[in-house]
Amino acid sequence: MRIPFWFIVITLFACGNVYGQCAFSLAGAVKDAETGEGLAFTSVWIKETGQGAYADSNGYFILTDLCQGDYTVVVAHTGCEMRNFLIHIPEKSRVIFSLSHTLENLDAVIIRGKSIAPRRTQSESFLSGNDLSKESGQTLGKILEKIPGIAALQTGITISKPVLNGLHSNRLLILNNDVRQEAQQWGGEHAPEIDPMAAGKITVVKGANAVRYGPDAMAGVIIIDPFELRDSSGWEGSMNVSAMSNSRQGLISGRIGHRLRGKMQPLSWQFQGTLKQGGNIRTPDYFLKNTGVKEANFGLSAGWNKEDYGILVYYSRFHTNVGIFSGSHIGNLTDLMAAFQGTKPVVSSGFSYEITSPYQNIVHNLAKAEAFWKVTNAGKISLILASQHNLREEYDSHKPEVPSLKYAVNTTTADLVFEHNRRGNWMGTWGLSGMTQANRMSGSRYFLPNYVNLTGGAFGIERWRKDKWELEAGLRYDYRFLETYGLKGNEIVTHSYRFSNVSGSLGGIFHASDQLHFTFNAGRAWRSPGVNELFSNGLHHGAAALEIGDSTMKMENAWKAILTTDFQAAHWLIQVTPYVHYFENYIYLAPTGEVALTVRGAFPVFRYKQTQALLNGLDYRARYTLNPHWEVESSGAVIRARNLILQGWLFGIPSDRFTHAVTWKPGWHNHHLEKFFSNAYFSVNFRHILKQTRISGEQDFAPAPKGYGLLGLEAGMEIPLMKQEASLNLACDNLLNIRYRDYMDRFRYFSDAQGRNVRLQFSIKF
Amino acid sequence: MKTIQKFNLAVYFIVLSGMWMMFSGCPRCKDGVGENCPNPINQEELITTVMLSLRDSATNEITVYSFKDLDGEGGNNPVIDSIYVKNGHKYYSDLILLNEQESPADTISVEVKEEADEHFVGYEFSPFPVSLSYLDKDANNLNLGLKTLWRIPGTPTTGTVTVILKHQPDGVKNGTVTPGDTDVEATFPVVIE
């Protein structure tokens, strides 16, 4: 008798609207891989909720009204063994499983395409599908603000970088396409060079995750996965168009993918591209001169994928030109104070798309080759080789024809990872990784020395799973060699550093019941001081302060413990994530009280120092679904960050913030309406940012701005357009057009924040 | 056989990674040689020296006072001369700005004059008032301030004068010191004899 092979295709259409609604559906087919015939009347149901359906005579089925979350999907067909699949909704828009089903080996489930990785023991949150596409046109930092615990560190609206649990830059790792994003990430006004439109899914992992991803992942990791290559023969594509009223920004983004047929079936490719242009931002009362942005990005990938091996090549280019608000260009402290005391900036402007100096010109190239091999009875071995080239040019309003600061950093990484097959209750991942980096700077101002940097590491993570428990432990060792080449007059000054340390992690998941899960993790991470922290010596562009590094700085060590309580029942979804983060040798910029006299006037002197620090906080999200039409959601984040040596507060920590939303889904009773405007929703949200009152000493030039509340509206629906899946979303931010300034925005010294902004977005998949 | 394949694959991958890293490696800067060695920075915009040349209208005697910060921002403090003027006298003042890190020194005030419509020099005397006349204008007939006439009050006292050079691009120049960003803010002690 031939062993029957099963092929189950489960396609998940993620069509949620407000983050985490019960409007998802799971559609797919159950097929016999041998004959290709659908298996009629297979029953498919969700274990946790009891929702279920029978496949039709062709093997197709659909499950609707699913909430976001992790589920066990049970598939059963007469005469066959019942199978369970773990599915996260709406993690993927398409998931394909192929199942080898034998009477002898019931546990051999081979997951084709990308496996659903086991849940991390750190706290995880996702953004994908419509939650991402409806934010099109926003910066990555702004999009991530949807996730409780993330705030945006901004330089106006066009430059924003994510702050996770109070930490950013060198303490928060961004993994783009499985490659560490390496650029000039130390800078507060250096936003991640990533096109959010290229992301199929964004995962935020809170908790020290240095073991798997290497040092620097102290606060956590932001993982950006591109759209996956198509897994069955044929074409696919999508188009996304969006417009914003405030900056008159337009964006167009498209994606096309193809998988060949026949002998060439393993070959698939994809192209994705984005064009974006916006003009001057408008506050409620005035335009901000020179705040436009122009961006052109693309990515190209091709892969050869077989059941047990695959290779992939990928190339992407990100290019942006960002204007820096003319009114923020200051020469000294007097200018800064004058700007702060004025009710509106001296530089006035109308609307324009023109970008003049000062501005940033940034190009980021990523080339990657990836291969995996599944070794029978052992596991999967994979290799990623990547090269990144990042160019950053900052132009001043003086001599705009040459950049005043220019950095070019080349980074090469290699990661070799082995995931061994499950053995009894154990599964695990072991790996080696290496990185070489060279940073060169030039321009008409001197700020940082050149440097080369070599890093090597080895890690192992093992996970034990039994009944309601999953426990995980990991250990990693890293070595870093850093050599800097600075200038003293015309002489080259070389400094060499060797850092090495061990990172560790212990965590677990306890499934108390199908509704209640506890996830906990305690991890240790470290990082070597950044070159800016060691050697900066001069005026920071735009900041009226002299920043002086300390070349004797020690490495920073951190311990983070995080616990997530996850409760999901019929009407409720509650996630509460408290954490404690302790730092030894926490590096920060401390005011010294000294004043340095220069030709440009007197400047306060700040020096990089180290202290013991403790960050405690709590993120939460709660949703109550009253009935199929009404839903209430609230989320928030609170952080307390102490400098333990000075017994004061740390600087630059996001204040307490809360978002509340009410959503109404009409659920048309009229069949025609339902047909043409399915999954329509309306939502009102209120974002409440409190004043940062926890400030000590002379850390800042101006008092923290007042707290504020912003009212927003969102509406969306799906339209069946030429039998394609299309959706239309409309949103309005700062509906009441209030004047406010945000503590985490560097432009708060100079101008109000953005006024009312209406966003319209349309996307279609084919 | 299987074991050998596995072993081969792992070795192949490791060798591949090693070669990848080596080929793309980052050469160190040794003895000033290597592509990662720093290039001398040409700080074109740097002003190290603010010089005031004062000519007494009565005697035609010229005295030059300077405010020098040769190592730029940070590092050593600037060296500042005290200005000595006679009460009741009139002085013709010439402002000269230099970058003395260049050799020969770069005269930045020439560039300021060339871009007169984007610059303005203000003089703030404290605590005594000095009647100040501007003797140069830009193409838009707004004051520039490289050449000025100072009328010193009639009582001996001491105080300060602050010379402020503002960069006022994009049409913000209005003949006052308020708009723009500061390129120079140098304070000299003043003794009225």
pLDDT tens-digit readout, A184-201: 988 888 999 999 999 999
> Which element (helix H / strand E) includes A650?
none
Distance CA A67, CA A567 (A): 13
* Record: contact A376-B44, CB cut-off 8 A: no
Residues β-bridged to residue A387: A367, A412
Degrees to nearest 5, angle at CA A382 with A381 and A383 = 135
Please tell me if residue A82 touches chain B, with a CB cutoff of 8 Å.
no
Degrees to nearest 5, angle at CA A372 with A370 and A374 = 180
* Record: contact B38-A492, CB cut-off 8 A: yes
- Tell me which residue in B36, B42, B179 faces A450 most closely, judged by beta carbons: B36
Please tell me if residue A486 touches chain B, with a CB cutoff of 8 Å.
yes
> Which element (helix H / strand E) includes A701?
none
Most confident of A65-69, A296-300, A438-442, B128-132: A296-300
The chain B residue lying nearest A547, using CA atoms, is B74
Average pLDDT over residues A42-56: 74
Please tell me if residue B77 touches chain A, with a CB cutoff of 8 Å.
yes
> In this predicted model, what pLDDT tens digit does every residue of A155-187 receive, in sequence order?
888 899 999 999 999 999 999 999 999 999 888
Please tell me if residue B15 touches chain A, with a CB cutoff of 8 Å.
no
Please tell me if residue A313 touches chain B, with a CB cutoff of 8 Å.
no
> In this predicted model, what pLDDT tens digit does every residue of A11-23 receive, in sequence order?
233 322 333 345 6
- Tell me which residue in A436, A596, A600 faces B25 most closely, judged by beta carbons: A436
Q: Which residues contact A523 (CB under 8 A, 6 or more apart)?
A: A122, A207, A208, A209, A210, A211, A503, A504, A505, A506, A507, A559, A560, A561
> Residue A365 has what pLDDT?
97
Please tell me if residue A356 touches chain B, with a CB cutoff of 8 Å.
yes
> In this predicted model, what pLDDT tens digit does every residue of B72-96 receive, in sequence order?
777 788 999 999 999 999 999 999 9
> Residue A390 has what pLDDT?
96
- Tell me which residue in B2, B26, B74 faces A546 most closely, judged by beta carbons: B74
- Tell me which residue in B44, B72, B186 faces A444 most closely, judged by beta carbons: B44
- Tell me which residue in A347, A434, A486 faces B38 most closely, judged by beta carbons: A486
- Tell me which residue in A326, A440, A599 faces B67 most closely, judged by beta carbons: A599
* Record: contact A436-B21, CB cut-off 8 A: yes
> In this predicted model, what pLDDT tens digit does every residue of A683-739 receive, in sequence order?
999 999 999 999 987 778 888 999 999 999 999 988 877 777 889 999 999 999 999
> Residue A92 has what pLDDT?
39
Q: Report yes or no: B60 and B28 within 8 Å, Cβ to Cβ.
A: no
CATH of B49-192, one of 2.60.40, 3.10.150, 3.40.50, 2.70.50: 2.70.50
> In this predicted model, what pLDDT tens digit does every residue of A334-344 receive, in sequence order?
788 888 888 88
Q: What pTM, to 2 d.p., does this model score? A: 0.84
pLDDT, chain A, mean: 85
pLDDT at A634 over 80: yes
A421 pLDDT tier (thresholds 50, 70, 90): confident
Laid out side by side, the sheet with A5-13 consists of A60-66, A24-32, A5-13, A95-100, A109-110
Closest-CA residue to A159 (of A141, A136, A178, A174): A141
* Record: contact B181-A335, CB cut-off 8 A: yes
pLDDT at A400 over 70: yes
Question: Beta-strand (E) ranges in A540-599?
Answer: 546-548, 556-568, 572-598
Please tell me if residue A493 touches chain B, with a CB cutoff of 8 Å.
no
Lowest mean pLDDT among A54-68, A512-526, A685-699: A54-68
pLDDT at A97 over 80: no
* Record: contact B170-A335, CB cut-off 8 A: no
A654 pLDDT tier (thresholds 50, 70, 90): very high
* Record: contact A599-B184, CB cut-off 8 A: yes
Q: Which domains does chain A have, with CATH numbers?
A: 5-110 (2.60.40.1120), 197-765 (2.40.170.20)
> Residue A33 has what pLDDT?
45
pLDDT at A231 over 90: no
Which of residues 156 through 175 in chain B touch A, CB cutoff 8 A? 166-167, 169-170, 172
Task: Residue B25: list chain A partners with CB under 8 A.
Answer: 412, 436
Please tell me if residue B176 touches chain A, with a CB cutoff of 8 Å.
no
Please tell me if residue B17 touches chain A, with a CB cutoff of 8 Å.
yes
For chain B, give every domain's residue range.
1-39, 49-192
